[in-house]
């Protein structure tokens, strides 16, 4: 048994600086790591704690964290966004151990920031807030990479006043969503208050503070069992399935427990249920020091230990859906047991009943699960939920469901295209289709429509 690094996701409204913040954090790990250390995985960046300690030294001492951190580092998920977060699912929660909700300090919490917040909360993931674009506070004097706590001591009163006003506004906004928050150095009780860390992804100010707060919160709020990894068959989740030249269809996977070896039997899932195959090749990026030719960035490895992001090459991966669990089997007598486990997990996401309710469609297991969780929270009954574009059968089911209640004559389609023949059929049967890329917009439109139908 050993302790792995927590997985961290970055979430927030468009243009708040998620990508730049991730770049800055990755840059820290590259500049301050030990030579030869592997910091790049597939879809994940590793920031070792030693690198953070070197980068943030004086702040580590000021906050009295030296010698107190037992997590090996952080694994940042490279793709921010709702879909990636939804696909990081595992039974009963998320593969993400922690989230950073990024807001623009000059504009506060915006629409997709609120949505990120709801998604994070629906999966029960602890989070902190980065109040980014600190350098845009009027009159703020920047010094590259300076910790926020040191920077704030060196500012003129009017810059401090502007900053305080912005943070106060953000705290007010958050309180409307039942969240108690405060500037991180004023938080008295981290179990009740969410820390706000002012950052600048442009100047690097506050990045040190962000990483240290993340470490503290990791150690206090992530259940230790969740970070314990054992030597055993790998457990993970499929993040993406794609065609790679020369390799065929590959799966990019996040492993959160165990060890995955070349030749392992793996069980994962497609729309129609569990799929069994065998690992033909495991691919990881080369360590930065060994990467000479940018065309030649990857290497094949014999095994990968969790926690990690890895690309799997295997036959029959086409049709595997993002958000599907992926479990390795070492003892072949266990295959049927694991297949059954995957089947049960999938049937909790895909719903097929004869109760009345709406029809739900989404592009992956992850987004479908988010949708089902959300509709349940809002008290909307579901008759049928499935992955992929709506079909003829959905229209038929919606017609049946409508007999009981006219507001159930609807197909909610999240991130999927509507085939023209289904569109026509729905139209002629009077079934409403609400399609979109944002869950909460689909829901709002549904509420609006159902009120019209009722009157
Ligand atoms: P994302 O959509 O959240 O990934 O945002 P990006 O990282 O792409 O940043 C959006 C824009 O904001 C870009 O033009 C960035 O250069 C800018 N930006 C991001 N972070 C900061 C920051 O801390 N300060 C300033 N001044 N600009 C920033
Ligand atoms: Mg971005």
* Ligand 1 atom 6, closest CA: 17
Distance 106 CA to ligand 1 centre (A): 12
Rounded CA-CA distance 120/394 in Å is 30
Other Cβ atoms less than 10 A from the Cβ of 336: the count is: 11
Q: Which residues pair with residue 90 across a beta bridge?
A: 93
* Ligand 1 atom 15, closest CA: 17
Residue 33: pLDDT band with limits 50, 70, 90: confident
Residue 6: is its pLDDT beyond 70?
A: yes
Q: How many residues does the chain have?
A: 455
Residue 30: pLDDT band with limits 50, 70, 90: confident
Establish whether residue 18 lines the binding site of ligand 1, counting it when its CB lies within 6 angstroms of any ligand atom. yes
- Structure token digits, residue 82: 């709702």
What's the complex ipTM? 0.99
pLDDT of residue 297: 87
- Nearest ligand to the C-alpha atom of residue 23: 1
* Ligand 1 atom 25, closest CA: 133
Q: Of 388, 357, 351, whose CA–CA distance to 372 is shortest?
A: 351
For the whole model, what pTM was predicted? 0.95
Residue 291: is its pLDDT beyond 70?
A: no
* Ligand 1 atom 20, closest CA: 17
Query: Which ligand 1 atom minimizes the distance to the CA of 134?
Result: 23
Measured in degrees and rounded to the nearest 5, phi and psi for residue 429 equal -95, 0
Specify whether the CB–CB gap between 211 and 56 falls below 8 A: yes
Distance 39 CA to ligand 2 centre (A): 21
Establish whether residue 226 lines the binding site of ligand 1, counting it when its CB lies within 6 angstroms of any ligand atom. no
pLDDT of residue 333: 97
pLDDT of residue 34: 79
Give the DSSP per-residue string, 386-430. Answer: EESS--HHHHHHHHHHHHH-GGG-EEEEES-PPPHHHHHHHHHHT
Run of H or E including 112 = helix 111-122
Most ligand 1 atoms within 8 A of CB, residue of 18, 19, 20, 105 to mutate: 20
Is the preceding peptide bond at 103 cis, omega within 30 degrees of 0?
no
Distance 43 CA to ligand 2 centre (A): 14
pLDDT above 90 covers what percent of the chain? 91
Query: Which ligand 1 atom minimizes the distance to the CA of 13?
Result: 3
Establish whether residue 201 lines the binding site of ligand 1, counting it when its CB lies within 6 angstroms of any ligand atom. yes
pLDDT of residue 38: 77
pLDDT of residue 296: 78
């Amino acid at each position: 048994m050993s302790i792995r690094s927590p997985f961290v996701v970055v979430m927030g409204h468009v243009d708040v600086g998620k990508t730049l913040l991730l770049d800055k954090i990755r840059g820290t790990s590259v500049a301050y790591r030990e030579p030869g250390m592997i910091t790049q995985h597939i879809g994940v960046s590793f920031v070792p704690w030693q690198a953070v300690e070197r980068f943030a030294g004086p702040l580590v001492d000021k906050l009295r964290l030296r010698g107190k951190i037992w997590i090996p580092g952080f694994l940042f998920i490279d793709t921010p966004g709702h879909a990636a977060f939804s696909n990081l699912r595992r039974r009963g929660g998320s593969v993400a151990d922690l989230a950073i909700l990024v807001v623009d300090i000059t504009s506060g919490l915006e629409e997709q920031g609120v949505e990120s917040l709801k998604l994070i909360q629906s999966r029960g993931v602890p989070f902190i807030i980065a109040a980014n674009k600190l350098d845009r506070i009027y009159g703020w004097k920047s010094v590259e990479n300076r910790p926020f706590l040191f920077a704030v001591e060196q500012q003129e009163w009017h810059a401090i006043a502007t900053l305080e006003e912005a943070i106060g506004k953000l705290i007010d906004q958050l309180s409307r969503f039942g969240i108690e928050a405060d500037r991180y150095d004023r938080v008295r009780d981290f179990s009740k208050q969410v820390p706000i860390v002012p950052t600048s992804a442009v100047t690097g100010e506050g990045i040190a503070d962000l990483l240290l707060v993340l470490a503290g919160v990791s150690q206090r709020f992530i259940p230790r069992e969740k970070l314990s990894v054992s030597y055993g068959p790998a457990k993970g989740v499929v993040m993406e399935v794609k065609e790679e030249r020369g390799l065929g269809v590959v799966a990019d996977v996040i492993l959160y427990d165990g060890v995955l070896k070349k030749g392992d039997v793996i069980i994962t899932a497609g729309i129609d249920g569990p799929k069994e195959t065998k690992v033909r090749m495991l691919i990881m990026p080369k360590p930065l020091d060994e990467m000479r030719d940018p065309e030649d960035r990857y290497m094949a490895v014999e095994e990968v230990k969790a926690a990690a992001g890895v690309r799997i090459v295997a036959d029959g991966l086409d049709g595997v859906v993002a958000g599907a669990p992926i479990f390795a089997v070492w003892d072949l007598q266990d295959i049927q047991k694991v297949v059954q486990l995957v089947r049960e997990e999938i049937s909790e996401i895909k719903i097929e009943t004869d109760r009345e309710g709406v029809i739900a469609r989404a592009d992956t297991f992850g987004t479908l699960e988010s949708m089902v969780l959300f509709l349940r929270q809002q008290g909307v009954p579901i008759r049928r939920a499935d992955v992929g574009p709506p079909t003829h059968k959905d229209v038929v089911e919606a017609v049946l469901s409508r007999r009981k209640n006219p507001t159930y004559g609807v197909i909610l389609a999240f991130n999927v295209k509507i085939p023209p023949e289904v569109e026509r059929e729905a139209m002629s049967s009077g079934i409403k289709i609400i399609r979109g890329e944002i869950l909460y917009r689909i829901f709002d439109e549904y509420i609006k429509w159902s009120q019209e139908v009722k009157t």
